[in-house]
Amino acid sequence: MEEDIPSGSLSPLHGFGFEVRAVRLGRKLTQKHLARGSGYSEAYVSRVEKGQLVPSERFARGCDVVFGTHGVFERLRRRLEESDHPLWFVPYVQVEEKAERILNFSPSLVTGLLQTEDYARAIFRAAHPRAAEDVIEGKVAARLRRREVFKREDPPALWVILHEAALRTAIGGPAVMAAQLEQLLRAMEQPHVDIQVLPFASGAPDGQMRPFTLLGMPDAATLLYSDGPRGGRVYDAAAMVSPAAEIYDRLRAHASSPDDSAAFVKSLLKEYRS
């Protein structure tokens, strides 16, 4: 039996799935019918309808063909790409909101959950030099909204390993960096936050130095989010998660202690202020 259609505020990804399911049921079609007509599996259709999977362009076109909606779903998918978060990042945001534990390694930039508004703005402006001001501000606001997860009654435990390079790269200039380091020092005082600095002297403990995040979920599963040249992806397969967990343990062992890391951030803050 199919579940009731959810109501209330939906994320863009869940909204797309909601519309697919609503039209499919309105046409009195099963997931099997849509799967056959679009060229995808029933499992794929189910995950799209639940907002668990970013729909492909081909799937969106297939929906329009099956439903006779003349490009409606292609346009809906295009709007997903134009939202404040990149399309490939939406699945991560959805699991981050539910995570009980977040373990992050950031080799080149301060992780998004700890960024100040001006630091985030400088990053987005550099990444999108021709974008309109309202587009940049939308992306900044979306990044800052991710902090809402720490306002939960049971905020997630956050453990961040920042490479020294992330702290010495002067994003936005000395004043912006000084404010960013002050933000890190405030975060270090929070009971649910641990931050370590991986100094240059530690070399490359994992051999690759790529950013990634491990998320402990309420059902005891651990997920991996890993960045790539064309965006990031969330993985749940043990073959991907287990090696990443081992790498994180190695990085943690080579990083400075939280107290020594705080002392280093304070010393670097003096440099940016001078």
Per DSSP bridges, beta strands 222-228 and 231-235 are antiparallel
148, 229: one domain: yes
Residue 134 domain-assigned (yes or no): yes
71, 129: one domain: no
| Model confidence pLDDT, tens digit, residues 227-263 | 876 678 899 999 999 999 999 999 999 999 999 999 9
Last residue of one domain, picked from the residues 33, 51, 82: 82
Q: According to DSSP H, which parts of the chain are helical?
A: 12-26, 31-38, 42-49, 57-67, 72-81, 90-96, 117-127, 133-145, 164-168, 174-188, 238-254, 258-273
Residue 146 domain-assigned (yes or no): yes
Last residue of one domain, picked from the residues 64, 82, 100: 82
Please give the chain's pLDDT, 274 residues, in tens: 344 544 445 667 788 999 999 999 999 999 999 999 999 999 999 999 988 787 888 999 999 999 999 999 999 888 776 566 777 787 888 899 999 999 999 999 999 999 999 999 999 999 999 988 888 888 898 899 899 999 989 999 999 999 999 999 999 999 999 999 999 999 999 999 999 999 999 998 887 789 999 999 998 899 999 987 667 889 999 999 999 999 999 999 999 999 999 999 999 999 999 8
Report d(CA 92, CA 65) in Å as an integer.
Answer: 30
Mention every residue, 6+ apart, whose C-beta is less than 8 A from residue 85: 93, 139, 142
Residue 3 domain-assigned (yes or no): no
Residue 1 domain-assigned (yes or no): no
229, 159: one domain: yes
Q: 156, 99 in Cβ contact below 8 A?
A: yes
243, 227: one domain: yes
Q: How many domains does the chain have?
A: 2
Query: 81-87: which pairs have CB atoms within 8 A and are 24 or more residues apart?
Result: 83/12, 84/138, 84/139, 84/141, 84/142, 85/139, 85/142, 86/231, 87/54, 87/231
Among 70, 72, 90, CA closest to 81: 90
148, 263: one domain: yes
- For residue 261, count other CB atoms closer than 10 A to its CB: 24
165, 39: one domain: no
Q: 202, 105 in Cβ contact below 8 A?
A: no
Give the pTM: 0.74
45, 147: one domain: no
140, 27: one domain: no
96, 68: one domain: no
176, 228: one domain: yes
191, 69: one domain: no
Domain that holds residue 268: 89-273
102, 40: one domain: no
Among 200, 116, 191, 202, CA closest to 159: 191
